[in-house]
């Protein structure tokens, strides 16, 4: 496991700041998209791509790479910005988000974007796919790990629980789910729309190892990812408490910013806050 | 869902009265199960998933020989399809097996958004297609699956006609890059093809040649069409019978040339008229070579319980219905 020094944490923080700026700029240029859930999961993706994952941007299909899947596909901007920063494609590509002919589709498309392991966008499907990849890894006796980012609102989909049952049934300890628990969905607070709570108890009951953390604290995220690797015979879910719209004052905890792009003026204010 | 009933009724066969008596009856599900085992021996990347029902779909044959490569996902079709997608994206050829109604209906959006959109190597083996499922009734009779699958961009849809053609469909699907939907029946079906007959995705086979009309059929209706051709021959009406095993891509060239040659077309399928083989043939002919087209298919209604033979009669899917309809199509020739 790579050592997490204070210097490294500072590097990761700087990356997170850059990626947040990219997200705002991308969305403002696109004129549509999902800032809230992108900003809430920045530290999670930065921890994975710049510390935890064994991957090679020059060879995205390297067969022994760790896999990351984004089940909450509407957070594509944070994935694209992270992949670009990691070297999968140029920064200029980011400014084509959602435009005709762009490799950066509104929701992730594995056939168009280097580094995107699996297409997503229709909620509730990613954990099942991650199970398939984890089963394949076990079958092939590979050591790669599979990470999948889930949304809290997404947990209302029944298929998530079909998949959760299967991950535990097949003892997929090479699988780690991370729940971006930002508390909001497009119609409002998750507890008001359709409460998926209590979360920890549900996942424990489904046979998972559960770790609760602050999803913006690099030390906590990385320690949790490390701990997940030591678990035998069961999958792990890291329930990461996050702030929707994190880093932009007028977006934080405002569900109106789930799926709305900032205007150029709003983007300017946001970028000032993030600089 | 009361799926145990499916097990209870699989042993029965009630086609005796409606097929040509010299035809041997063989189970395409068994042929499929054995073919996937054969494939599994040749290729270690072949894996099989089941949503319970392994005994009915014959996925249990693979499970017995390759337990490590068999994944029972329980009664959770949506999850099964996406797990198959995950295995496929990791380099496996994933055969996902369940009944046609659950494969195409319950898991449609998973197939559309996660499997087909990314052109993944998931091969869907959908047994119990059509109304001849019988006594289990409407909830277990997949009668709209061809329409639901054929409408998905890039999806291949195959309906092998008998136990000889079924392994060819399985092997072709395995070699094909991308998703394939294979529709099988519950009943044992008459053996009407030969081992040496070709099976190519996007092609079809002419089984009888005649110049008065063409019957384009798939699945169980192909043998009924052959029977109809014999009945019509007694009245000196000679028809061409096309075994249209590849619904998508469909053999456009052959269909147009047969329309040119015979001037009247009847389609026959054990499926809803809306969106099925008849629709597909009409799309081709209306744009390329308009001739009278009549359709033998289930009209806009659900299935029900009954013995397969009774249901085929009730829903006008017999050789006698083909005879009447062929005459109607011929009468419409200009």
Q: Are residues B22 and B144 in the same domain?
A: yes
In whole angstroms, give the CA distance from residue B331 to residue B329.
5
Q: Do B79 and A130 touch (CB under 8 A)?
A: no
How far apart CA B275 and CA B91 sit, in angstroms, is 33
Has residue B154 been placed in a domain?
Answer: yes
What pLDDT digit, counting tens, does each position of A86-107 carry? 999 999 999 999 999 999 999 9
The Cα of A108 is separated from the nearest Cα of chain B by a number of Å equal to: 11
Provide the pLDDT for residue B17: 55
For position B1, what pLDDT does the model report? Answer: 40
Q: Which of A109, A132, A139 sits opposite B83 (nearest CB)?
A: A132
| B173 occurs within a structural domain | yes
Mutant choice from A129, A160, A177 vs B, greatest count of B C-beta within 10 A:
A129
Q: Which of B24, B38, B77, B310 is catalytic?
A: B77
Reported as type and span, the H/E element at residue B25 is strand B25-27
Contact between A134 and B110 using a beta-carbon 8 Å cutoff: no
Chain B CB within 8 Å of residue A166 CB: yes
Assess if residue B238 is contained within a domain: yes
For chain A, the average pLDDT equals 97
Residues of A in contact with B67 (CB under 8 A): none
Closest CA to A132 of B109, B118, B89: B89
Do B97 and B147 belong to one domain? yes
A42 near A50, Cβ under 8 Å?
no
Mean pLDDT in order along chain B per 10 residues (334 residues): 39 54 86 97 98 94 97 98 98 98 98 98 98 96 98 98 98 98 96 96 98 98 96 98 98 98 98 98 98 98 97 97 98 92
pLDDT at B7: 36
**Whole-number Å distance between alpha carbons of B242 and B203:** 10
Instruction: Please write down the HEC assignment for all residues of B34-101.
Output: HHHHHHHHHCCCEEEEECCCHHHHCCHHHHHHCHHHEEECCCCHHHHHHHHHHHHHCCCEEEEEEEHH
- Only one residue has tokens 């099988």, namely B184
In chain B, whose CA is at the least distance from the CA of A166?
A: B73
pLDDT of residue B18: 60
Q: Looking at residue A231, what is its pLDDT? A: 97
**In the prediction, which pLDDT does B9 show?**
40
What is the total count of domains within chain A? Answer: 1
A109, A121, A129: residue with CB nearest B86: A129
DSSP 3-state of B139 = helix
In DSSP terms, A148 is beta-bridged to: A69, A177
Claim to verify: residue B279 and residue B165 sit in the same structural domain: no
B77 is catalytic: yes
What's the CATH number where A13 sits?
Answer: 3.40.50.970
CB-based contacts of B191: which residues, under 8 Å, 6+ apart?
Answer: B23, B24, B25, B26, B162, B163, B164
B195 domain residue, yes or no: no
Strand partners, A241: A181, A214
Taking CB atoms and an 8 Å cutoff, what residues of chain B touch A111?
118-119
Examine the domain organization and report whether B261 and B318 are in the same domain.
Answer: yes
Whether A14 is in a domain gets the answer yes
Would residue B93 count as lying in a domain?
A: yes
Judged by phi (left if over 0) then psi (alpha if -120 to 50, else beta), residue B17 lies in: alpha
- Owning domain of residue B219: 205-331
| Tokens found for residue B53 | 């029902």
Which pLDDT score is estimated for B302?
Answer: 98
Residue of A nearest to B69 (CA): A139
Place of tokens 């994935």: A79
- pLDDT value, residue B19: 60
CA B155 to each of CA A197, B127, B248, B295: distance values in angstroms, whole numbers, following the listed order: 39, 18, 7, 24
Q: Residues of B with CB below 8 A from A62's CB?
A: none
Question: What residues in A contact B81, CB-CB < 8 Å?
Answer: 128
Size of interface A-B (CB pairs under 8 A): 97
CB contact under 8 A, B86 and A122: no
How far apart are the C-alpha atoms of A93 and A58, rounded to whole Å?
Answer: 16
Kind of pairing between the strands at A175-181 and A236-241: parallel
Helix (H) or strand (E) holding B182: strand B180-183
Distance CA B130, CA B272 (A): 9
Per-residue CA distances from A175 to A31, A75, A137, A156, A250 (Å): 35, 21, 10, 21, 35
Q: What is the pLDDT of residue B334?
A: 79
Report which DSSP code applies to B183: E
Q: Are residues B143 and B209 in the same domain?
A: no
Q: Which residues of chain A have pLDDT under 50?
A: none
What ipTM was reported for this prediction? 0.97
Q: Which domain holds residue A195?
A: 6-274
B214 and B254 part of one domain: yes
> Distance, in angstroms, between B63 CA and closest chain A CA?
15
Residues of B in contact with A169 (CB under 8 A): 74
The answer to whether the CB atoms of B47 and A139 lie below 8 A apart is: yes
Residue A1 within any structural domain of the chain: no
Q: Does A249 touch chain B (CB under 8 A)?
A: no
Per the domain annotation, does B2 fall within a domain?
Answer: no
Note whether B82 and B94 are within 8 A (CB). Answer: no
Whether B197 is in a domain gets the answer no
Q: Are residues B33 and B147 in the same domain?
A: yes
């Amino acid at each position: 496991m790579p050592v997490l020094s204070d210097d490294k944490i500072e590097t990761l923080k700087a990356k997170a700041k850059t990626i947040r700026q990219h997200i705002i700029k991308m969305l403002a240029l696109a004129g549509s998209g999902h800032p809230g859930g992108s900003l809430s999961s920045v530290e999670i993706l930065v921890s994975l791509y710049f510390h935890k994952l064994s991957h090679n941007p020059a060879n995205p299909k390297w067969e022994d790479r760790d896999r990351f899947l984004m089940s909450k596909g509407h957070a594509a901007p944070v994935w694209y910005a992270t992949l670009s920063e990691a070297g999968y494609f140029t920064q200029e590509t980011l400014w084509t988000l959602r435009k005709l002919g762009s490799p950066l589709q509104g929701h992730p498309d594995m056939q168009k974007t280097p580094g995107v392991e699996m297409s997503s966008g229709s909620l509730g499907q990613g954990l099942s796919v991650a199970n398939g990849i984890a089963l394949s890894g076990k079958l092939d006796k590979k050591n790669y790990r599979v990470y999948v980012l889930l949304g809290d609102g997404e947990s209302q989909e029944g298929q998530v629980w079909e998949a959760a049952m299967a991950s535990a049934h097949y003892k997929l300890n090479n699988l780690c789910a991370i729940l971006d628990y930002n508390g909001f969905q497009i119609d409002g607070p998750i507890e008001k729309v359709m409460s998926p709570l209590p979360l920890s108890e549900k996942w424990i009951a489904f046979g998972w190892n559960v770790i609760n953390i602050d999803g913006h604290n690099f030390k906590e995220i990385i320690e949790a990812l490390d701990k997940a690797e030591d678990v035998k015979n069961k999958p792990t879910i890291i329930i990461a408490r996050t702030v929707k719209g994190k880093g932009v004052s007028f977006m934080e905890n405002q569900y109106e910013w789930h799926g709305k792009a900032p205007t150029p003026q709003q983007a300017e204010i946001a970028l000032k806050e993030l600089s | 869902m009361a799926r145990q009933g499916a097990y209870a009724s699989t042993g029965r066969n009630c086609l005796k009265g409606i097929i040509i008596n010299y035809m041997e009856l063989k189970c395409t599900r068994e042929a499929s199960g054995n073919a996937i085992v054969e494939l599994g021996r040749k290729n270690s990347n072949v894996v099989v998933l089941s949503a319970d029902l392994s005994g009915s779909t014959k996925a249990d044959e693979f499970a017995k020989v390759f337990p490590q490569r068999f994944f029972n996902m329980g009664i959770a079709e949506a999850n099964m399809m996406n797990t198959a997608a995950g295995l496929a994206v990791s380099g496996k050829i994933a055969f996902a097996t369940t009944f046609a109604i659950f494969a195409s209906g319950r898991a449609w959006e998973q197939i559309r958004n996660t499997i087909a959109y990314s052109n993944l190597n998931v091969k869907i083996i959908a047994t119990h297609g059509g109304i001849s499922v019988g006594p289990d009734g409407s909830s277990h009779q997949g009668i709209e699956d061809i329409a639901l699958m054929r409408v998905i961009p890039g999806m291949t849809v195959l309906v092998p006609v008998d136990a000889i053609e079924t392994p060819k469909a399985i092997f072709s699907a395995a070699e094909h890059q991308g998703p394939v939907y294979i529709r099988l029946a519950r009943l044992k079906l008459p053996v009407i093809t030969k081992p040496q007959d070709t099976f190519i995705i996007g092609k079809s086979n002419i089984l009888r040649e005649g110049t008065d009309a063409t019957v384009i059929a798939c699945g169980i209706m192909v043998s009924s069409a052959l029977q109809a051709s014999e009945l019509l021959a007694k009245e000196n009406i000679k028809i061409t019978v096309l075994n249209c095993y590849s619904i998508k891509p469909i053999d456009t060239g052959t269909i147009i040339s047969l329309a040119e040659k015979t001037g009247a077309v009847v389609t026959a399928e054990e499926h809803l008229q809306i969106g099925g083989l008849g629709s597909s043939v009409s799309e081709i002919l209306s744009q390329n070579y308009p001739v009278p087209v009549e359709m033998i298919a289930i009209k806009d209604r659900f299935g029900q319980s009954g013995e397969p033979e009774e249901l085929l009669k009730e829903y006008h899917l017999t050789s006698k219905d083909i005879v009447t309809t062929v005459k109607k199509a011929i009468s419409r020739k200009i």
